[in-house]
Chain A
Amino acid sequence: MLFKKRAERLFMWVFFPLALLMPMFLEQNEYYVNKLTTIMILSIFVMSLDYLVGKCGLITLGHAMFYGLGGYLFVILAPEYEAVNFWVYTFYICAISAAIALVIGLLVLRTSGIYMIMITLAFAQMTFYYFSGSIDYGGTDGVFVYVKPETSIFGLSLFDLDNPTHFYYLCLLSLFNTLLFFKVLVRSQFGRVVDAIQVNPGRTTALGYNIFVYKLMSYVVASALGAYAGYLFTLQYGFVNPSMLSWTTSGTALVMLILGGIGSIYGAILGTITYEGLHYTLEHWTEHWMLFMGGLIILMVMVFKKGIAGFLEDLLEKRDGK
């Protein structure tokens, strides 16, 4: 069984049907559909980070680099006034990001812990300053996307990306696939070695595994998916700018992850919803929303020690025990 914990199954049965029906409830309210779409996209990003941090033990503060690259690669590669194919560019962007992650991973993964945090941060900041300073790519203003890609496969076009509801469903489908992919990956034979490395790298080497290769592959996969999320984000808002690459983007994703529950995969969605929900509520209530947000996050981290996912799991297991 892919979803072993009761909390996971509960989440799957509640979240996805609800998310599927959501646009119907919101009918013509484009603002909320867009908001939810962003949550789906961020969830993909946070989930790919969770795989690195929670499953592989690779703590990075530079994941936003791939998020931003997803966007920038699109505006660099795609012609400005011509609709390209969405799926073809998905492939291009993921493949190029994977190649970049492979090269950077070769350097970054030689370190661990605090050093790895610093080096990933350094790489992300390098790209951040490169794009903020580049005239070709709009400097700090970024670049606009004038024409959105079309999504036909073999002549069949399922999604119209200019339609917010269609775009919402595309992102929901992507999120569902990402979740499934990571769950399968964690359960796989590759996942067994990744688990072993996280718990006890020394033992795993002594059993004959070249642990560097496994870390590198995990890094490449998670980075490619992070770039995919950035690509979706760029298509949604029709522009890319350096703030996507900023270290605060990485930091926010980590906060979402910690809120949701590190290492649970589906917790990434819970964390993103909670964070964005809080953000939205507080922002409309007071100008000093960050003050309250910070306080609430501290409180939540103290109450839910293993994140919201961990809290749910404990709750349901306790009920099982009785």
Chain B
Amino acid sequence: MENNVILETEGLCKYWGGLKALDNLSLAFHDKQLHGIVGPNGAGKSTLLNMLCGHYKPTSGEIIYRGESISSIKPFEFARRGIGRSFQKTNIYTNATCLENCCVAVQRLMGGSFNFFRSRYSQKMLDDIATKALEKVGLAHRRDYIASQISYGEQRQLEIAMVLATSPALLLLDEPMAGMGHEESQLIINLLNTLKKEYCIVLVEHDMDAIFELSDQLTVMVDGQHLVTGSVDEVREDARVKEAYLGQGDEVY
């Protein structure tokens, strides 16, 4: 199991002034596994994701991707190395069709982005690959809809499709089910269950049922610190986790 580690963090810290948003975090993420991250608000989950995709620079510590430190490379280079990211707030091109949204992603892989003259509308191969990404998340029927006109749940699916269209090795998903109804959540859960057979997924999610169902590895964070990492069952039984979530029971109310 140790040999298929894709991404590691070593003593990762992020300070905002005096606030320790993330303190000395060392984690390993494995290929073809879904690694869930849970914790109360302010535990540093989003900060962690933002650093893993290059959005924030760590104050100290290393991010190691396939054995190479990538802590100091530029944000766009993270995506070029195969680290795909979906955001907590839906982050798509709302004025364009779903197909065009994915085409932007595919074009980055296929090249031609510095071509001043070749029309973007005559790229059959590019369109086909983008369509395949939409099919993968079950959005093929929305291909020619403007992204702002599809439902919120579908927009989240679209964002995942865009990330998949860059053919990443690693998916960082920040609360993909936030604000979704039960049925929509179930769609995403099914989708993630399929995707984790192919990709390494790091999932931050508040929906506990979903994360217990999906996770192969689960990390609990509290106040920017790592509390426990293990299988779902191990985490469920861990006394420290109960304490963090439920309190010690000796507070005076």
Contact = CB atoms under 8 A, between A and B. Distances in A.
A202 interface: yes
A206 B79 contact: yes
24 contacts: A184-B117, A185-B117, A187-B119, A188-B116, A188-B118, A189-B107, A189-B118, A189-B120, A190-B113, A192-B113, A193-B104, A196-B104, A199-B96, A203-B92, A203-B93, A204-B104, A205-B75, A206-B53, A206-B75, A206-B84, A207-B105, A208-B76, A208-B80, A211-B76
Interface of A: 184-185, 187-193, 195-196, 199-200, 202-211, 214, 217
B162 interface: yes
Given A187-B119, A187-B120, A200-B93, A192 B104 contact: yes
Contacts of A203: 87, 91-93, 162
Contact of A207 (B74, B108, B115): B108
Interface in B85-132: 85, 87, 91-96, 100, 103-105, 107-108, 112-121, 123
Nearest to A186: B120
Interface of B: 53, 55, 74-80, 84-85, 87, 91-96, 100, 103-105, 107-108, 112-121, 123, 162, 166
Contacts of B118: 188-189
B108 A202 contact: no
B176 to A, nearest CB: 15
B202 to A, nearest CB: 15
Given A192-B104, A203-B91, A208-B76, 13 more contacts: A185-B116, A189-B113, A189-B115, A189-B119, A190-B113, A195-B96, A199-B96, A203-B92, A205-B75, A207-B166, A210-B74, A210-B76, A214-B113
A217 B162 CA distance: 25
A217 B55 CA distance: 24
A207 B103 contact: no
Nearest to B121: A187
A209 B108 contact: yes
A209 B121 contact: no
Contacts of B100: 192
B94 A190 contact: no
A208 B76 CA distance: 4
A185 B117 CA distance: 6
Contacts of A210: 74, 76
A209 B91 contact: no
A294 B19 CA distance: 53
